[in-house]
């Protein structure tokens, strides 16, 4: 199914994730040991930098006329790794260290709010969750300063210019609803199809521009559902862990993990995700004219229904959030809650 | 019989001996997108398809258990038949006196992805092609990584020839030690990126580079294993040694812990491909099938070892060709793989599994290989590159979706045409052009679920471009792939279900004149004599498609009068009269006089008009 975690939003789930900043890094040293408790901002790995200004070599390159137009230049420093020396990697999660991997990665078990994206790019990063507001409080358009090291939440669709702005501001990650394919490929300087289809895609992530991206709705110009935005705003200011890695071959999707405090974990319901499409289930349409829209299953048809394409398929009546009732094939619905 | 619930260790062998006398057979096909389960049972002494169910394949998280998808599909069957087959999450076997349970359970699998095989050593294009040929009937991808010295030597050899142009990517920059070092680095990176399941070392030591390519192949594996700091199952890598025999032990010592070396006959020509084929087949079972999550339970349920779907389909196609003494072609357009199998009446068999090319998760690779123009040429409307790429990306991320509108349907059918075409092109041996199928069997979701049978027929005609007279049969029940596996435990059931159920969706007989079709003139006159004595005469213009009504279960005698330069299989202008009555089908008698090879108009507006015209003529 589409979501390895079950639903696209899990309010309370225990996960184990290897903290690894991506790529093949020599000289990574774990600063913690199995059994130790860690905080999200606590350094857990020390990295030794081996190379100067690694270029975007070896990435699948674009060849389509549509995306080889002259694009505004990315600031050169944004594409280069920091100078020779050492750096530390924060945990990003609160929890218990359960393992240290052979390459020096640290496996942390944590109780989190997990949000799964539809598409993304970029390695795992940790940063402070920051809501981006395009308009000032008085409604006037203003350029909001973006704190370096933040994971920025953009309520609407992304654009190439916004991505560049975020990159040049030192933001480490960005979460948005959607983006036009051309803009995303132009920014990544990579063929997205090859990127998500590559058997060794994880290595390629670290060669992308250092800005991890997660799209909650996918390609196009879809808006972020209000309840998701509300959820993200509740955790503004918290250190979170974001991965943009999307791989068809490895069934991997981007995810944002926000560690919960013990009190929060106790207060939030822990629910096993049920993937069955039953009346009352919250779903997202993942294909066709209503792609990206969310709603609730009203009823299931007993017999296969003929879709506008002519294909006969098991189907459901779905009440969209906008109030419209549609008939959709079950295979075009992802249960999200 | 005593009731048994199969446990992890299973009681499969206990009732395997009864398989031939089974009352009921449950067969599952775990595809990369969907798991299809069919229940076969004895009805009036004949095996018939009783019910079928379908559910998404559950290999990925959060389910991560292939049997969960099977159980969901079985639940559909339980709902339809009222028969209880799963009890407490386990398969009830054998069949109970009250009719619950099943006697036999067999499985075919195409999920799990292809086996990625590295070709190392003196991996010349010829040897790499031979390896590809050896694994062409399996779900396997080959990736050549010739040794750096061998690559340098090839480049030098190319350049030393008069008038030679450098090989792409290897010249004219000289192969300095620095460049060789860079090549080593590139190869290790490539190896890590590919995450291979196995490697094969090829090449004899009699070339100008001697045994160096073999040594470098071993060195590459050792270096990659040393760099592999991650906890993966990549190393030790199974290594098939099909190179110079005198260096096998030295290679084994050199590779040491980085690989498990299996010695094969040296690969020198097309005559010794079988050992490689068998070895890779065994590796596929070990490295892919047995590692699928839930495989232990699946194996314990099964009355026979689960097999790759392509292997099962191969068995069926060969059987049909032998049994009916005809040339049979089978096409399976799947989500992750496309398979084309040719079986001749004299025992010839040419398999081609295009692993990673499909209409689901395989769309990305397909688009990369053919480009967007080859896709859009089949569409009677304008489509931008970006729309196609977005469609591909969305389908790759959600391979289980069905087209929800006409536009999506037509795009997905355009991709299906190219997936089949590309697979046909991969049969480089020219086998396809000389192969004249009497019967074309088509299976796979995109064909089986086509809203109109004529759409499936048109996809097949466009992509396969058969010539002469052939019959098209569509496997709407998606049973074909499973019949070969059924035959291993109960051949009678396979034959009876094939005759009674699987081929009931006959699309019709096709007449495809070829040769030089006179433009805008009559290419062929067709006379049809129906069983009731009625006679119909139709003149078919070059460049057109005509359908003459001949319904399912109807037969007619056919006489063809081609134009002087047109051939229907007996030579240009030769009249043909069928010795036996031809069968009708869901579409009818199709006369495809568009010419071979099929050339689409270069002008976009004209092409759109033609595509619409053909589509309407055939009833798609």
For B2-27, the pLDDT digits (tens) are 334 344 334 444 444 467 789 999 99
Chain B hits for A1, CB-CB cut-off 8 Å, are: 56, 58, 60, 62-63, 400
Give the pLDDT score at A280.
94
- Tokens linked to B211: 């045994």
Query: Nearest-CA distance from A264 to chain B in Å?
Result: 24
Q: What is the mean pLDDT of residues A178-194?
A: 93
- Tokens linked to A210: 């250092």
Mean pLDDT comparison of A49-53, B179-183, B373-377, highest-scoring range? B373-377
β pairing state of B198-203 and B237-243: parallel
How sure is the predictor about B559, in pLDDT bands with cuts at 50, 70 and 90? very high
Q: In CATH, what is the architecture of B115-287?
A: 3-Layer(aba) Sandwich (3.40)
Nearest-by-Cβ selection for B405 from A6, A104, A289: A289
CATH class, B308-504 region: alpha beta
Q: What is the mean pLDDT of residues B55-62?
A: 85
Give the pLDDT score at A143.
56
CA B89 to chain centre: 32
* All structural domains of chain B with their residue ranges: 4-109, 115-287, 308-504
Residue B171: pLDDT above 60? no
Any idea which fold B4-109 has?
A: Ubiquitin-like (UB roll) (3.10.20)
Give the pLDDT score at B471.
95
Residue B595: pLDDT above 90? yes
Query: Nearest-CA distance from A158 to chain B in Å?
Result: 16
| Contact state of A310 with B389 under an 8 Å Cβ cutoff | no
Q: What is the mean pLDDT of residues B502-522?
A: 88
Give the pLDDT score at A201.
63
For B286-331, the pLDDT digits (tens) are 999 999 999 999 999 998 999 999 999 999 999 889 988 999 999 9
Q: What is the mean pLDDT of residues A243-262?
A: 91
How sure is the predictor about B446, in pLDDT bands with cuts at 50, 70 and 90? very high
Q: What is the mean pLDDT of residues B549-577?
A: 93
B361 touches chain A (CB under 8 A): yes
Q: Do the Cβ atoms of B239 and B262 come closer than 8 Å?
A: yes
How sure is the predictor about A132, in pLDDT bands with cuts at 50, 70 and 90? confident
Q: What is the mean pLDDT of residues B201-226?
A: 88
User: Of A240, A225, A198, which Cα lies nearest the Cα of A15?
Assistant: A240
User: What is the three-class DSSP state of B462?
Assistant: helix
* All structural domains of chain A with their residue ranges: 9-267, 282-335
Query: Nearest-CA distance from A145 to chain B in Å?
Result: 33
> Is pTM, for the whole model, over 0.90?
no
Q: What is the 3-state secondary structure (H, E, C) of B207-249?
A: CCCCCHHHHHHHHHHHHHHHHCCCCCCCCCEEEEEEECHHHHH
Nearest-by-Cβ selection for A311 from B372, B384, B451: B451
- Backbone dihedral angles phi then psi of residue B399, each to the nearest 5 degrees: -65, -15
Q: What is the mean pLDDT of residues B103-114?
A: 93
For B413-444, the pLDDT digits (tens) are 999 999 999 999 888 665 666 788 999 999 99
CA distances from A222 to A156, A157, A292, A332 (A): 7, 6, 7, 17
Nearest-by-Cβ selection for A248 from B56, B361, B403: B361
Q: What is the mean pLDDT of residues B136-149?
A: 92
- Tokens linked to B567: 């051939």
DSSP one-letter string for B421-446: HHHHHH-TTTHHHH---SEEEEESHH
Residue A81: pLDDT above 90? no
pLDDT averaged over every residue in chain A: 82
Q: What is the mean pLDDT of residues A221-243?
A: 91
């Amino acid at each position: 199914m589409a979501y390895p975690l079950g639903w696209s939003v899990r309010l309370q789930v225990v996960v184990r994730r290897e903290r690894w900043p991506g790529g093949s890094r020599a000289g990574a040293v774990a600063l913690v040991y199995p059994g130790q408790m860690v905080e999200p901002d606590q350094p857990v790995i020390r990295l030794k930098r081996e190379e100067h200004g690694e270029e975007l070599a070896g990435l699948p390159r674009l060849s389509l006329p549509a995306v080889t137009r002259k694009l505004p230049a990315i600031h050169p420093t944004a594409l280069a790794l920091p100078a020779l020396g050492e750096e530390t990697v924060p945990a990003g999660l609160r929890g218990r260290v359960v393992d240290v991997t052979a390459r020096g990665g640290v496996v942390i078990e944590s109780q989190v709010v997990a949000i799964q994206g539809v598409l993304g790019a970029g390695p795992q990063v940790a940063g402070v969750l920051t809501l981006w507001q395009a308009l000032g409080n008085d409604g006037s358009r203003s350029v909001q300063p973006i704190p370096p090291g933040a994971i920025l939440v953009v309520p609407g669709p992304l654009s190439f210019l916004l991505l560049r702005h975020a990159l040049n501001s030192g933001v480490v990650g960005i979460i948005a609803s959607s983006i036009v394919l051309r803009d995303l490929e132009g920014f990544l300087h990579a063929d997205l199809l090859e990127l998500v289809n590559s058997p060794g895609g994880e290595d390629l992530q670290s060669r992308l521009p250092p800005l991890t991206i997660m799209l909650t709705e996918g390609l196009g110009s879809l808006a972020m559902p209000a309840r998701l935005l509300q959820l993200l705003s509740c955790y503004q200011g918290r250190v979170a862990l974001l991965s943009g890695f999307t791989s068809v071959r490895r069934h991997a999707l981007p995810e944002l993990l926000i560690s919960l405090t013990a009190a929060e974990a106790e207060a939030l319901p822990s629910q096993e995700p049920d993937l069955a499409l039953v009346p009352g289930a919250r779903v997202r349409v993942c294909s066709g004219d209503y792609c990206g829209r969310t709603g609730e299953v009203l009823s299931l048809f007993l017999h296969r229904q003929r879709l506008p394409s002519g294909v006969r398929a098991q189907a459901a009546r779905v009440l969209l959030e906008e109030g419209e009732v549609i008939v959709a094939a079950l295979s075009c619905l992802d249960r999200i809650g | 019989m005593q009731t048994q619930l199969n446990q992890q260790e299973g009681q499969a062998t206990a009732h395997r001996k009864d398989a031939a006398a089974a009352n009921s057979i449950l067969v599952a096909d775990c595809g990369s997108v969907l798991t299809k389960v069919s229940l076969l049972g004895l009805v009036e002494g004949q095996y018939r398809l009783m019910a079928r169910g379908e559910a998404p394949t559950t290999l990925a998280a959060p389910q991560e258990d292939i049997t969960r998808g099977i159980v969901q599909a079985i639940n559909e069957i339980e709902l339809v038949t009222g028969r209880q087959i799963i009890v407490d999450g386990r398969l009830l076997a054998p069949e109970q006196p009250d009719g619950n349970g099943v006697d036999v359970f067999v499985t075919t699998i195409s999920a799990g992805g292809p086996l990625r095989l590295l070709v190392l050593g003196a991996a010349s294009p010829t040897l790499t092609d031979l390896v590809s040929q050896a694994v062409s009937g399996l779900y396997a991808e080959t990736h050549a990584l010739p040794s750096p010295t061998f690559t340098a030597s090839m480049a030098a050899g190319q350049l030393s020839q008069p008038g030679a142009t450098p090989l792409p990517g290897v010249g004219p920059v000289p192969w300095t030690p620095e460049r060789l070092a860079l090549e080593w680095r590139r190869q290790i990176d490539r190896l890590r990126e590919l995450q291979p399941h196995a490697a094969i070392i090829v090449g004899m030591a009699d070339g100008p580079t001697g045994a160096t390519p073999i040594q470098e192949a071993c060195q590459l594996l050792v270096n990659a294993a040393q760099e592999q700091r991650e906890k993966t199952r990549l190393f030790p890598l199974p290594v098939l040694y099909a190179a110079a025999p005198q260096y096998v032990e030295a290679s084994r010592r050199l590779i040491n812990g980085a690989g498990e070396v299996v010695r094969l006959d040296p690969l020198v020509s097309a005559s010794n491909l079988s050992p490689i084929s068998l070895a890779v087949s065994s590796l596929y079972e070990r490295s892919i099938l047995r590692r699928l999550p839930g495989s232990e339970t699946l194996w314990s349920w099964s009355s026979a070892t689960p097999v790759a779907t392509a292997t099962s389909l191969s068995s069926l196609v060969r059987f049909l060709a032998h049994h009916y003494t005809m040339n049979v072609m089978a096409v399976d357009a799947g989500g992750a793989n496309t398979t084309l199998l040719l079986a001749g009446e004299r025992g010839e068999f040419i398999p081609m599994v295009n692993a990673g090319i499909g209409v689901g998760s395989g769309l990305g690779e397909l688009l990369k290989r053919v480009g967007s123009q080859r896709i859009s040429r089949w569409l009677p409307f304008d489509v931008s590159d970006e729309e196609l790429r977005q469609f591909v990306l969305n389908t790759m991320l959600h391979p289980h979706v069905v087209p929800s509108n006409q536009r999506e349907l037509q795009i997905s059918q355009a991709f299906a045409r190219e997936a089949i075409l590309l697979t046909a092109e991969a049969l480089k041996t020219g086998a396809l052009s000389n192969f004249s199928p009497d019967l074309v069997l088509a299976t796979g979701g995109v064909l089986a679920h086509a809203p109109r049978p004529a759409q499936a027929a048109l996809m097949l005609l466009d992509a396969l471009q058969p010539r002469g007279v052939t019959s098209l049969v569509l496997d709407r029940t998606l049973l074909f792939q499973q019949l070969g596996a059924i035959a291993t435990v109960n051949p009678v059931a396979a034959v009876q279900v094939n005759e009674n159920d699987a081929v009931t969706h006959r699309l019709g007989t096709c007449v495809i004149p070829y040769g030089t079709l006179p433009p805008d003139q009559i290419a062929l006159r067709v006379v049809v004599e129906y069983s009731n004595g009625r006679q119909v005469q139709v003149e078919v213009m070059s460049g057109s498609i005509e359908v003459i009504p001949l319904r399912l279960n109807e037969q007619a005698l056919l006489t063809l009068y081609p134009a002087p330069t047109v051939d229907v299989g007996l030579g240009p202008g030769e009249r043909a009269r069928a010795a036996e009555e031809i069968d009708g089908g869901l579409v009818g008698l199709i006369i495809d006089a568009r010419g071979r090879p099929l050339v689409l108009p270069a002008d976009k507006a004209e092409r759109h008009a033609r595509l619409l015209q053909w589509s309407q003529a055939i009833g798609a």
